[in-house]
Structure 1
Amino acid sequence: MTIRILIADDQAMVRGGLRMILEDQPDFEVVAEAVDGVDAIEAARRLRPDVCLVDIRMPRLDGIAVTRALAPLKVIVVTTFDLDEYVHGALRAGAAGFLLKDAGPTLLVEAVRAAHAGDALISPSITVRLLRHFHPAGEPQSNPLSERETEVVQAVARGRTNQEIAAELFISLSTVKSHLSGIQAKLGARNRTEIAVWAWENRVVPGGS
């Protein structure tokens, strides 16, 4: 099965470099390149790629606005700068990943595969470090989840993959996926990143703010 990818970046050299890395994979196909946010949205809506790689700083519309506009398409936000404000904005917009441009070819490929599979969206270290900064606006919302669903949410908020969650909770991978579907429905979350944000904002994670 081919994973169809869109690359949006205003620098031709960056687009070319990303394309070269991605198309080295036998099951990856770059179906479009875009030079700014408006072009990215138009191309993504027309071609419906499986994963979009979107630069955070682009003319006309930035990567966060593009991510928000393209939901529920899977968007990985790419940036040169590891700034909390960028990551927070990307996560709140529903990004399916956050990647630094110097992350290297291996991590780029892993990020695309993970986003496509709905699995590990951003590296656990970045997930935990940045999600800890989400502070509740007021009192935490009431928790509508079962005890087992809460355990799954806590694991997601710590950056665990589906396989890791299954191993930690001694349940099957299909059961993890079933729980995640139910959790998304209960929370109105578009993806697991939004589940993690909800968990940190509502102090569901032990030791969270």
Structure 2
Amino acid sequence: MNTPRSAVDRLLDDGSGHRPRADARRNVERLVVAARGAVAEIGVEVGTHEIARRAGVGVGTFYRRVASREALLEAVLHEVLAEIADLADRALEAPDPWAGLSDFAVGYVRLRAESCGIGEALGGACGPALDRSLAELRQRIRHLVERAQAAGAMRTDVPWQDVAFLLAAASTGPHTLGMVAGPQQWERNLQVILDGMRSARPSPLPGTPPG
């Protein structure tokens, strides 16, 4: 399996094969780190000035180093989706198919819960730019689900498409009906979902109920 290119390498690849100057690479690395943080907190609508501010560079430097805000965000989201795909690949190698699926689910939902932008990207907010990465991730989820079902560890009446929506549903907002969610609310949600998918006895819930 080929190792996916990092966001920095994607942005520095101008097709010439020339190695970029060290200062250029450092600036792009700072922009990528800043963009990842901004996308997580604000979402994919984050502006150029905010990313540049977080990176400690001027807007002029921003545009000297990357073609556009869209190009930077696309590279960052491809990088994060590649990390999620790597989680899935490692889960597929787990000796226990249910443990592999469960571990992937925890990592996947944690990313959705902690990153506003990843939730938006996975929901299709970025248009066709991420279509291939999303298709590859769908295939991995399908393999994880079918592997767990073939092992008799998961209900066979729950297709992998349902699982994709169930995992997305585990990440909720911090408030509902005048109540405030606890810090482990998404983990509680996910445990209920996993127990509902499983063919074995339910597991104890982590954390405490919302207050």
TM-score by length of 1: 0.29
Higher relative contact order structure (alpha carbons within 8 Å, sequence separation ≥ 6): 2
In terms of fraction of residues, the more strand-rich structure is 1
| TM-score normalised to structure 2 length | 0.28
Specify which structure has the higher proportion of helix.
Answer: 2
